[in-house]
Amino acid sequence: MSPARWAKGSRIMAAFIHPTSIMSTSRPLRWGILGAARIAGSALIPALRATRSEIVAVGCRDEARGAAYAKTHGIANVTSYEGLIERDDVDAIYNALPNHGHAPWSIRAMHAGKHVLCEKPLALNADEVAQMKAASEATGKLVMEAFMYRFHPQIDRLREVLASGRLGPLKWMRGSFTYSLRDMGDCRWDPKLGGGALYDLGCYPLSIMRLVTQAEPKVMSVVSRLTDPSLYEGGSVDHAAHAVLGFETASGRVLGHLDSSFSLPFFCHFEALCEDGILRLPIPFASKGVQTELHIGDEVERFAICDPYAMMVEHFEAAARGECALRFGMDDSLNQAIAMDALLAGAHAHPVA
């Protein structure tokens, strides 16, 4: 159904596009939270409760920290990582561990009979993703990379407009995600834990470029800034990177410019430059609970405030119950990891002062 529009000035059009309901009549899953992470507390726990899912327990290495986290978020049970994945009253795990814990603990959870919604990046490299895919196939349990931005209605609308040809063929893309991470004790600075701005932030513009082109990139160039190797054992991580990607599509090559950084102010943006106009999303990756807009040339479409995390959870639960197929499965995550491996290799090969 096309959105209703009304005039707002001589050349600006506006539309409010409402998301579908997140309430399901099917039985929600029973969840365990793996890791006492901020992202779980701020995003996934509220999303699970919005979909009326039961949060059974949190798994944490530090008993005191886990108890404090459970009290803060109203979770009845606290256990170890091992204890969580072995519980008979847990159907699905949300893996919120640092990046190095994504593959091993997700694989163990699947072999323990649990579906897994895992934070991005799904793993540290393509080999680990391939192991997760094999575990999913062997156990029949789902695993999905938690790129929640893909479930916001603005993304489907962006793809719809591009596919319509209304603005002509796509030629260029620009995607940026940056913020200032000043806490040098944060795990995202630690190379042994899978730190770095490309893993944490650059994965988003990479993902959306792959999504809108339905093509896999060739990494044409990467420049980066790396941390002082004396900061942590294990070497350096990228704290800023710029990459140029090439995507071969049916209408020709599309160039993508990608930026990610821990050392710049907050900036979250995506543009698709077509032959006859520009599509722009001012807030593509941080869209929870805020007013979002899609700029289509001189027109503006506005979207009702929503929670894409809750929409992601609803979809994942429906797939786990066998009601639908995952929109984004392991083949997508494997191709994402292959591209990320190439970006990281370039970042470490071409640092700048």
What does residue 326 show for φ and ψ, rounded to 5 degrees?
-60, 135
Short-list 318, 311, 347, 341, CA closest to 146? 311
Would you give the distance in Å from CA 184 to the centre of its chain?
A: 23
Instruction: Tell whether the torsion through CA atoms of 292, 302, 149 and 40 is positive or negative.
Output: positive
Q: Would you say how long the chain is, in residues? A: 353
What is the distance of C-alpha 309 from the center of its chain? 10
Other C-beta atoms closer than 10 Å to the C-beta of 185 total 6
Residue 9 has phi, psi (to 5 degrees) of 90, 180
In terms of DSSP bridges, do strands 170-180 and 263-274 run parallel, antiparallel, or are they unpaired? antiparallel
Catalytic residue among 8, 114, 120, 133: 120
Amino acid occupying residue 44: L
Cβ-based neighbours of 74, under 8 Å, separated by 6 or more: none
Max distance between CA atoms of the chain, in angstroms, equals 62
Q: Is 120 a catalytic residue?
A: yes
Strands 16-17 and 30-34: unpaired
What's the order of all strands across the beta sheet hosting 16-17? 16-17, 299-303, 292-296, 277-281, 263-274, 170-180, 252-261, 238-249, 217-226
Q: How would you class 353 by CB atoms within 10 Å of its CB: exposed for 0-12, middle for 13-18, buried for 19 or more?
A: exposed
Dist. CA 245–CA 172, nearest whole Å: 10
Residues with active-site annotation: 120
